A and B are shown apart, each in its own frame.
Chain A
Amino acid sequence: MDRPGFVIEPIEAQPTAQSLASLVDSTRALARPPISNFRVAAVGVGSSGRIYVGVNLEFPGLPLHHSVHAEQFLVTNLLLNGETSLTSFAVSAAPCGHCRQFLQELRDSENIQILITSDNNEEFTSLSDFLPHRFGPLDLFPEGSLFLLETRNNGLSLTTRTRMNHGDEDENLRSNNGVVCNGHGPVVDDEKLKIAALEAANASHAPYSGSPSGVALVDCDGKVYKGSYMESAAFNPSLGPVQAALVAFVAGGGGGYDGIVGAVLVEKEGGPVRQEETARLLMRSISVKYAGDEVRTQVH
């Protein structure tokens, strides 16, 4: 039997607890947790009725805050596919507090229905029961602000010049126009990557710092994957832009991380949050073929 992918067209109009639970069982194998070997899958229903899969990703050799939880993967997958809400999901283990907090970024999060498959019952419980007396977006941003997954455009645009990071210059960075090449794969159009990263930055949910960002990755086949930074009101549960792009990579059938040969980060300059050095650290850790051609671009 073929394993399902990360986006599934529903067979029935309203997926049942049973069908979601069985999808959780079969998709846990897609998780990549080399540190814990504790595989988690979260399978959820978007506003369109389509079904999305999320799995956990861990990155050895780095602090644990780089980890991506299955629930975060699920939400990122929804954003990638233009879904504007998450109605319900089934997950193989009780969502941790970090995830219960991350989910607060969604509008009407209190009503998200959650099924924990390890409980062996078919009961959905509202997220509000899992995080009473919550701390959430409305504690920090005014009513009327956009929640995560709601359509937005941060209105950033690239400046005409590309500015490399100040401080120590990486000798692998090229300043020749428009071409990213690290000797491991086909020459990739830097412009295409930059545009994808900019699109991701413009879709990024960053109301607490005002520092939206996006990353675009390219694999050795030239396929581009993009991810948007998603902030949490509680700060620490925020999902970095590289992480979001890696979700797109894994969900897009990307294979091993060393298939990634290039990356571009776009972030707004001068904000209180800065991703560049951290993004570089993660990229170098996961892909030996990645030679540090990350270009940081100034945006307005």
Chain B
Amino acid sequence: MLLPLHSSVSLISLFPLYWNTQNIHPQPSFIPSLTKSPLTTTIFSLLQKKKKKDNKKLTMDLKMDQPRFVIPSTEAQLLAQSSGLSSVTDVLPTLVPTAQSLARPPISKFPVAAVGAGKSGRIFIGVNLEFPGLPFHHTIHAEQFLVANLLLNSEPSLVSFAVSAAPCGHCRQFLQELPNATDLKILITNQTNPNFSPLSQFLNHRFGPRDLLPDSVPLLLEPHNHGLSLPNKFNSNDSDLKLAVAALEAANASHAPYSASPSGVAVMDCEGKVYRGSYIESAAYNPSLGPLQAAIVAYVAGGGGGYERIVAAVLVEKESALVKQEHTARLLLNAISPSCDFKALICSPKNGE
């Protein structure tokens, strides 16, 4: 190791390091202080391993690439093992400082990261995003980003997460949409003696989904399909269709049991890559996450770069829905990418229910 650990962390915070090495499986021996320092664990976790055929000594290449918001389960396990930690859960707090550097809070300058473990064994990252020039309700909290990231990746359950600051009441409420809300384990890294405590301790005597919904209605992350389809007379070129189909899929997966107003947004960047997000409603209404917000989460988590690279967007929602997103989505889009092309599509269930 040639660089002091501290300076490495700030570099890594944005870009993974590529290690040129003959051995793609990291062993404790080549990162000497791995078991002792949480910082080395942090560095390790964002590594993208690259196999080199030629026999080179251990060197360090800096390569500009995308930060990662999902760590596969095998890698998560390796992280735990090589850090001498007993489980993936224990790794979560060590990833928080680096993840904070991925946050985009230009208004408060208060970066928050939430690093969570899914039931599948994957690790997910969430960070806060703020949007100047708009009211505060457009803000995305790290915990909301985390949950939207899970939904995007079809993760069936959030088991635990570590977060850099106490979750606010808005987030504690948003998290109630999850089926295991009472048991969800949370650790706050800036506390004096951080430990995992269940969400029920952070929001006791809760107001939640079952105060408004019968038991038969699925909760967040459980399968949803609203059966919407594109209008028959939808004429389009290929990229429009690609966006529309993605937005439709997102709308069909959205969690909107309180208003029966499913919606989804898909955005496309200047390279033609598509990112989609589903509307996620809260029983307490105001903490709901808009579909464009969810698509922006997908964009940031997908390595999307600056918002001005978003060139096109499509919103899918139902006609005469109790909750309509179009004008609000347009407002946000105008603020972050003024030249973006935006279309709102009204879709209905197939059999005209």
Residue ranges of A at the interface with B (Cβ–Cβ < 8 Å): 35-36, 38, 58, 60-65, 67, 69, 93-102, 104, 116, 129-135, 139-140, 208-209, 231-238, 240, 272-275, 277-278, 281
Judging by beta carbons under 8 Å apart, are B110 and A140 in contact?
yes
Judging by beta carbons under 8 Å apart, are A96 and B284 in contact?
yes
Judging by beta carbons under 8 Å apart, are A63 and B328 in contact?
yes
Judging by beta carbons under 8 Å apart, are A274 and B134 in contact?
yes
Judging by beta carbons under 8 Å apart, are A94 and B207 in contact?
yes
Q: Which residues of A contact B286 (CB under 8 A)?
A: 64-65, 67, 69, 98, 236-237
B62 within 8 A of A: no
Q: Count of A-B contacts with CB under 8 A?
A: 164
Compute how far the CA of A38 lies from the CA of B137 in the bound complex, rounded to whole angstroms.
Answer: 22
Q: Which residues of A contact B230 (CB under 8 A)?
A: none
Listed residue (B168, B203, B258) with the most chain A CB atoms within 10 angstroms of its CB: B168
Pairs of residues from A and B, 6 with the lowest C-beta to C-beta distance, nearest first: A97-B173, A101-B169, A234-B168, A96-B284, A97-B169, A65-B137
Compute how far the CA of A281 lies from the CA of B325 in the bound complex, rounded to whole angstroms.
Answer: 11
Judging by beta carbons under 8 Å apart, are B135 and A132 in contact?
no
Judging by beta carbons under 8 Å apart, are B203 and A64 in contact?
no
Judging by beta carbons under 8 Å apart, are A133 and B188 in contact?
yes
Query: Can you show 18 pairs from A to B with CB atoms below 8 A apart?
Result: A62-B324, A65-B137, A94-B207, A96-B284, A97-B206, A97-B287, A98-B284, A98-B286, A99-B284, A100-B172, A104-B169, A132-B201, A135-B169, A208-B108, A209-B136, A235-B130, A273-B107, A273-B136
Judging by beta carbons under 8 Å apart, are B205 and A36 in contact?
no
B204 within 8 A of A: yes
Judging by beta carbons under 8 Å apart, are B136 and A281 in contact?
no
Judging by beta carbons under 8 Å apart, are B328 and A96 in contact?
no
Give B315 Cβ to nearest chain A Cβ, in Å.
Answer: 12
Judging by beta carbons under 8 Å apart, are B287 and A236 in contact?
yes
- Number of residues of chain B lying within 8 A (CB) of chain A: 53
Query: Which residue of chain B has the shortest Cβ distance to A103 in the bound complex?
Result: B169
Compute how far the CA of A102 lies from the CA of B169 in the bound complex, rounded to whole angstroms.
Answer: 8
Judging by beta carbons under 8 Å apart, are B170 and A237 in contact?
yes
Give A69 Cβ to nearest chain B Cβ, in Å.
Answer: 7
Judging by beta carbons under 8 Å apart, are B173 and A96 in contact?
yes
Q: Which of B136, B205, B206 contacts A238 (CB 8 A)?
A: B136
In addition to A98-B170, A208-B108, A273-B136, 8 A-B residue pairs with Cβ atoms within 8 Å of each other are: A58-B285, A63-B288, A65-B285, A96-B283, A97-B169, A235-B139, A278-B135, A281-B328
Q: Which residues of B contact A62 (CB under 8 A)?
A: 323-324, 328
B141 within 8 A of A: yes
Give B161 Cβ to nearest chain A Cβ, in Å.
Answer: 15
Compute how far the CA of A93 lies from the CA of B207 in the bound complex, rounded to whole angstroms.
Answer: 8
State which residues 271-327 of B face A: CB under 8 Å: 281-288, 290, 322-325, 327
